[in-house]
Amino acid sequence: MANEVLKVEHLDKYYQKKHVLHDINFTISKGEVITLLGPSGSGKSTLIRCLNGLEDFRNGEITFEGKKVIPNEKNWQQLRQKIGMVFQSYDLFPNLTVLENILLGPTKVQKRNVDEVKQEVDKLLQKVDLLDYKDAYPRQLSGGQKQRIAIIRALALHPEFMLFDEVTASLDPEMVRGVLNIIQDLADEDNMTMIIVTHEMNFAQQIADRVLFLKDGNILEDTSGKEFFKNPKTDQAQEFLQSMNF
Ligand SMILES: Nc1ncnc2c1ncn2[C@@H]1O[C@H](COP(=O)(O)OP(=O)(O)OP(=O)(O)O)[C@@H](O)[C@H]1O
Ligand SMILES: [Mg+2]
């Protein structure tokens, strides 16, 4: 497919002897939003980490924009420029201000012009209502604010593809919406290609073009978002949705 961003073929992942991903196959096209759902321990984080070269895998192939993803240090540096990833913990550098945290990648790694990047970052911060916190340190921010900064930091690298792994899981309920809104805007306004792991089922239903349902390291369903939430095919997916009170 011409607009294919990422292709995963026959991916198998082991942790020592433990087989955690079984023959994973899927592709994602430009602008598509996939939510990756499944019970705890099903392999969601492991899969996400394989996709951007953070995890070694045993068999299979991952192709990003026509190039093979080979998990090693050098490749990872390059992939990180194009595949943005945000986790549950924000991992901002505590000794750097918000602005310094965000500028690091674009200016030190990508060697872009500092003034240009700063202008762009101001706009991004404005958009998420955090411009006033530009010179604050991470410890002075709430969890939700830190998570919004972590997303801005990823976006400032101009990624072509974003991975989100439970970015709202450690937030107080009142902080969740602000973070999800940024992701929703990325889908609606920027047509960003994304894979999102989330336990927020309303959000997943709202944003997903497609759902991959993972259980015990197997993709049991790969279907449109509409279909998955209306009519889950497998007992396992039905049970999962029930367990989420959905
Ligand atoms: N570094 C590791 N070493 C050994 N086993 C691991 C490691 N990381 C994860 N696992 C195992 O791999 C399986 C998949 O874990 P993973 O973290 O990918 O699940 P998950 O779907 O993201 O779960 P959760 O919803 O709780 O985040 C689990 O059985 C887990 O115990
Ligand atoms: Mg996980």
Q: Tokens 């992701």 appear where?
A: 183
Mean pLDDT by 10 residues, the chain (246 residues): 89 96 98 98 97 90 91 77 90 95 94 96 93 97 94 95 95 92 96 97 97 98 97 97 93
**Which atom of ligand 1 is closest in space to residue 166's alpha carbon?**
27
pLDDT given at position 2: 62
DSSP code, position 48: H
pLDDT given at position 90: 79
Residues lining ligand 1, CB < 6 A?
15, 18, 20, 38, 40-46
Give the pairing of strands 83-86 and 161-165.
parallel
CA gap 218, 41 in Å, rounded = 11
The correct CATH number of 4-243 out of 3.40.50.300, 2.60.40.10, 3.40.1410.10, 1.20.120.1200 is 3.40.50.300
pTM here?
Answer: 0.95
Residue among 11, 19, 45 whose CB has most ligand 1 atoms within 8 A, to mutate: 45
pLDDT given at position 77: 75
The ranges assigned to domains in the chain are 4-243
Q: Tokens 């994304």 appear where?
A: 194
pLDDT given at position 207: 97
**Which atom of ligand 1 is closest in space to residue 18's alpha carbon?**
5
- Is there a contact between 150 and 86 (Cβ–Cβ < 8 Å)? yes
Closest by CA position to 25, among listed 204, 221, 193, 160: 221
Residue nearest to atom 8 of ligand 1 (CA): 46
- Is there a contact between 237 and 228 (Cβ–Cβ < 8 Å)? yes
Tell the burial category of 162 from Cβ atoms under 10 Å away from its Cβ (0-12, 13-18, 19+).
Answer: buried
CA gap 20, 209 in Å, rounded = 26
pLDDT given at position 153: 95
- Distance, CA of 113 to chain centre: 27
pLDDT given at position 101: 97
CA gap 235, 242 in Å, rounded = 10
Spacing, Cα 41 to ligand 2 middle (Å): 7
DSSP code, position 115: H
